[in-house]
A and B are shown apart, each in its own frame.
Chain A
Amino acid sequence: MKLLSTKATCNSHGQDSSYFLGWEEYEKNPYDVVQNPKGIIQMGLAENQLSFDLLESWLAKNPDVAGFKRDGKSIFRELALFQDYHGLPSFKKALVDFMAEIRGNKITFDPNHIVLTAGATSANETLMFCLAEQGEAFLLPTPYYPGFDRDLKWRTGVEIVPIQCTSSNNFQITESALQQAHEEAKKKNLRVKGVLVTNPSNPLGTTMSKSELNLLIDFIKDKDMHLISDEIYSGTVFTSPNFVSVMEILKERNDLKDFDANVSERVHIVYSLSKDLGLPGFRVGAIYSENDMVVAAATKMSSFGLVSSQTQYLLSAMLGDKKFTRNYISENQKRLKKRQGMLVLGLQKAGISCLKTNNAGLFCWVDMRNLLSSNTFEAEMELWKKILYNVKLNISPGASCHCTEPGWFRVCFANMSEDTLNLAMKRLKDFVANNNGEECSSNKRTRSTQASRSFSRKSLSNWVFRLSSRDRHEQEER
């Protein structure tokens, strides 16, 4: 009889090893402007480091909050004892107000329909446990966040079936792709319980159009399914088109009386403060649903990942400061817009373009298809390795996001200083210039391609071995 469970021993779920290798290499040789100027620059981590000063300044003006005080009185005992899985009421209120503000107050949320969880990682898994089981699946548009393979499938037994999106229409979801995915699930004998989208999208960095959202609602209405909208990046929309939440579409259709009462009970939102506020360490996530049964079940399940009361209290005060949140949201977006602009410009100077529709998120979806030696994922891996080892930039290859087209990469811009970003762009420009030079000599290229291909195969074996023998520093790389 085996000692551990199947779940404990089936480690990787086919997760791409490149994520981990890139991380390892970065850890061995991290860039530092003074100590290690030739090191690897981390561009694979979707963190928002641009607005900490705003948070720090608020903390400095409100020292009591971190000190467990309210109106000068200590509430340490109350917080120390507070483990109610319904969540701190003042925090839930402040959170739903914040969510409404992000959506321009076009809709409101009821704090009684919010379930707090230790991060969106926990929220997503909990929703899967509530809505589906072994033998069932959710449809997800590709490319998608690699972590979903673990978060949605691992302990739940639920499957993911991809909705294949392509660059032909900027990776938007089409009706035919949706139907195709549904067919595929049927062929695999999987009952489809719903669709899960990330809006704004990771890794595309785009907001969903009204027509895509309506398409999805039509689809789930027709098939009696759920729709989960992970809106973790909703506060990072820095340029038009404006963010349109699925909740707004529901409201519109309700107002237009194009409404199926059931539909609102099958649409659920996930949120988190890890991207908008840049607080991934505090583990603050949430599920929002109009479905009472889902809220009830998810609330009980949140026992397995509650948010620290110390943290709930701090954030109830911070998000309860409406003057602060209003200013934070707009200033943060300004900075993100500026920084994205720098990345786009830097890429352009290197002759590299990215998805034109990028208007949100902490990254660009970069088109390096013209740098591939062939339109294959092997070539993509080859290019990725060169960028990692030669250019010394850790970026995320599209294959790790289940993209169907080779040559796309996710490059983050908000987790480093402006100078570091400039340096990264310079390195990339030099690399592309050299690469173009090489292409002039076809013999050279053939030799180098063959050499890199065999190097690539051998390294792949090494990576696979390394992945299974020890796991390192797997950050939550959303």
Chain B
Amino acid sequence: MIPKLCYFLKLLVFIILNNLILKLKLNIDGLLVYFPYDYIYPEQYSYMLELKRTLDAKGHGVLEMPSGTGKTISLLSLIVAYQKAYPLEVTKLVYCSRTVPEIEKVFNIIYIFITHCIINSYFKIAFQIHFSSVKYLSFLALRFGKEVDGKCHSLTASYIRAQHHSNPSQPVCQFYEEFDAVGRQVPIPPGIYNLDDLKDFGRRKGWCPYFLARYAILHANIVVYSYHYLLDPKIADLVSKELAKKSVVVFDEAHNIDNVCIDSMSVNITRRTLDRCQTNVETLQNTISRIKETDAAKLREEYSRLVEGLKEANVARETDMYLSNPVLPDEILQEAVPGSIRTAEHFVGFMKRFLEYLKARLRIHHVVQESAPQFLKDIYEKVCIDRKPLRFCAERLRSLLRTLEIADIADFSAITLISHFATLVSTYSKGFTIIIEPFEDRTPTIANPVLHFSCMDPSIAIKPVFGRFQSVIITSGTLSPLDIYPRILDFRPVTVASFTMTLARTCLCPLIVGRGNDQVAMTSKFETREDFAVIRNYGNLLLEMSAIVPDGIVAFFTSYIYMENIVASWYEQGILENIQRNKLIFIETQDAAETSMALEKYQEACENGRGAILLSVARGKVSEGIDFVHHYGRAVIMFGVPYVYTQSRILKARLEYLRDQFQIRENDFLTFDAMRHAAQCVGRAIRGKTDYGLMIFADKRYARADKRGKLPRWIQEHLTDGSLNLTIDETVQLGKHFLRQMAQPFRQEDQLGLSLLTLEQLQSEDMLQKIAQIAQQA
């Protein structure tokens, strides 16, 4: 109960502090918006204006605003106000974020927001984060998510519950029974529920929080969850299917949304998957022959259902979460299952043939790349498998698993994956490619065949979302260049805008270091990256910076291998030792536990003494979700341009596809991808207007117009011609000057009227004019 108490105390403190007064009441284009702070940033006002326009037009929007300028609160206050003003136009806000810490951050903002603004009980708000963790309530002893799922399913599946009716000794889940009996009729009290609250609520009532959450989504005004619940077709079908059309969907931190889409539709099959699948098939076969002896009626019943082409009735669909099919055209779902896989034995035989075929394909010694039609043709020639039964594969397997009443579905993930692959490969002829690699690139001697069924078109996964919901907002701190997102996601936004940060003082200082003191060019270009002069100059740069920057420095490398190489040669050259005289060094590794340990100690070191240096990797965990506010990151150094590994065949296929379908040249996309990651990395240091930090781009290629032009506008603005191709010495000079200036006391009054506005200031005429200039339409 202690966390609960803490929460109430927090609430109480808030209320006392703020004397129950609504903070700002804004008039945004005729809409009354409650804003929970005394002051507002001009760009927030501008952001809300654009957002309102998007909602009015019932269209989609792409909005870029620097991190630390209060995107989330602006989004929330405007959309909630809109919801309140036009309850029939917008019924629900679905807020998607990428990682758990980010989701929790949104939560805290909502706490503040709700406690300040909405005193009446109009809002009933439920949140849920990760379903699988909610399930832990009843099975605390199990370690793996899959096991939890399997156990849960074995207690709540519809047939288990039916058996329980006739045979009370059959165990069922008490929590679910309780929920099923009363949970749906009793409304959940209005409020804010995060994961723990929901668990707590469930425990008190004796209801299963997992099903409670799934049910509550339909009634909540605001839902906050992870991308995957909307984008991954396997989960979205289950969770988000019944969300109202009139919802507003927000994808926050959406700079990587195309990769999420692609991942959710791609399938990788290894030899191990196939071996596990083999055992699955054998289990199926045995179960079928056993059931045939004991309960043949059951199979007959399934058979007749399939003959009639009846879709499985929706009864008890809720608990039977076998495998939702990947996105299929509706006409397929209405049709009857083809005769060749109608009976259980035939279907198992079919799966066996498919499996053997895949095995044969994986037994190759050279790389094969082919399109889906080629694959289908080959499979027809080799094992006589037609396209149509393949399309029904996932659906048919689901039906079979249900009929066989296999309670423990955790083991069947392999065959499920294969069936998904079958359905996808026969459904989509465009936008996918099949790549079979006999070994990994790094270990060409060890045979490790993998079949990549790789999606190249992110618009396939996100298309249902754009089609379904009236407004989808894509927003992040780094979305530049803005026009590329609508192109690769294939949608037509009504607003595309980028906002700059209004600053009372220039608190960010981007510098491009192109040369060492010896005038040797610094670059992570492939040809010169192993060059001793380059490595030494990188070392010198870090050494010099460690001497002048107070507290924390974060350094990003382009890859783990490159970081290891560089650190090793720094050690040999004695640079590391010199750096350690100034600061402690921490390193991010591929191991998540190790990294979080390093991060914790790094923060501890920043609090004490002379500070620390964190060496990490662009595209790694640190670069994506960890903020380095204030003294945790006074300087960010980006060693090299973080290009993705260009030799990967999957990437090559995707680039080719982009070129053919969207007329985006390979180089443009690679640069775009590298620059968004670079911007993401350096953006980690500035998390607000009182924060300040150096941003050092250590590669001469950043100075080129094509790279520089792809940085977000709020960084580009502060890149002067004088800071384009600096040597290390010059960088140190500029850095020293900047840090000294920034270290002067900075009070709120300095900001007022410039980058922080009161209501009166906001209403003045010339301020409104200034605000109009903040947004730049792309």
Note whether A and B form a binding pair: no
